């Protein structure tokens, strides 16, 4: 067997599903992290990484020039692109951020439900590496290195049951954590504290009210949470 074939077999190998109690426990743990203000303050940066990664990926797919990504210690971030200031590419890039964590969480849930834990962990490492190449500030680089190091350690050193627990917890966290920033966004917009948010930029680009964009974000994230939760529990649901 060639090394490339062996690597592919390793990445695509399936792992035995953990017990149901571990899946439920990981979900409640993720919910506690998202719901508790202090833990959310420290973990929200992971959602920001997914948010800015969504902007960056769609910018590349729509052939906008990606100039760089910045992640800040207050859990905010910015993705800089160059290209037409209007048009479908700009709209898609602006719309991608708030739905990216939920859609990544849904993809993670699909892989986890299929037992592809190793493939999920290495896919995350690949995405983090691509983002690291475009980071333009020290805090952002350190953040990605820390997260990437943790994912690598989980994939390389942890036993299979620990990997499964970590993968389920990560999927739950992305699905649940993708909803809260959207609710926070609308709360800020209601009092006029987010005049340049993604929703307001989209309103200026499309002449569709920003509130409708927020509702679209919320619809996507809620649907992802419901279906992703179903996927994560599907092995134990009656057929």
- The CA distance from 216 to 202, in Å, is 12
Task: Categorize the per-residue pLDDT at 239 as very low, low, confident or very high, splitting at 50, 70 and 90.
Answer: low
Mean pLDDT calculated for residue range 83-92: 94
With 90 as the cut, is the pLDDT of residue 11 above it? no
Residues with Cβ within 8 Å of residue 31, at least 6 apart in sequence: 172, 176
Percent of the chain with pLDDT over 90: 82
- Is 89 in contact with 140 (CB distance < 8 Å)? no
Strand partners, 42: none
- pTM of the predicted protein model: 0.94
Tell me what the pLDDT averaged over the chain comes to: 93
Q: pLDDT digits over 120-163, tens only?
A: 999 999 999 999 999 999 999 999 999 999 999 999 899 988 99
- The CA distance from 119 to 12, in Å, is 6
With 80 as the cut, is the pLDDT of residue 10 above it? no
Q: Which residue did the predictor score with more confidence, 83 or 13?
A: 83
With 90 as the cut, is the pLDDT of residue 6 above it? no
- The CA distance from 138 to 218, in Å, is 32
- The CA distance from 93 to 202, in Å, is 10
């Amino acid at each position: 067997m060639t090394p490339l074939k062996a690597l592919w077999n390793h990445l695509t190998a399936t792992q035995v599903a953990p017990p149901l109690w571990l899946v439920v426990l990981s979900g409640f743990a993720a919910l506690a992290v998202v719901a508790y203000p202090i833990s959310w303050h420290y973990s929200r940066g992971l959602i920001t990484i997914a948010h800015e990664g969504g902007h960056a990926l769609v910018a590349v797919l729509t052939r906008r020039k990606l100039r760089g990504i910045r992640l800040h210690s207050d859990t905010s971030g910015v993705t800089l692109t160059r290209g037409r200031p209007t048009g479908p590419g700009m709209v898609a890039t602006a719309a991608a951020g708030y739905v990216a964590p939920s859609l990544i969480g849904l993809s993670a849930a699909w892989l986890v439900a299929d037992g592809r834990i190793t493939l999920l962990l290495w896919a995350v490492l690949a995405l983090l590496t691509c983002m690291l190449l475009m980071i333009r500030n020290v805090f952002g680089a350190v953040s990605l290195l820390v997260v990437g190091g943790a994912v690598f350690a989980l994939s390389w050193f942890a036993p299979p049951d620990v990997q499964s627990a970590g993968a389920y917890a990560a999927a739950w966290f992305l699905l649940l954590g993708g909803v809260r920033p959207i609710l926070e966004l609308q709360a800020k917009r209601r009092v006029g504290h987010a005049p340049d948010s993604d929703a307001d930029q989209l309103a200026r680009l499309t002449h569709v009210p920003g509130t409708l964009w927020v509702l679209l974000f919320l619809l996507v994230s809620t649907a992802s949470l419901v279906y992703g939760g179903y996927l994560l529990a599907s092995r134990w649901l009656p057929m």
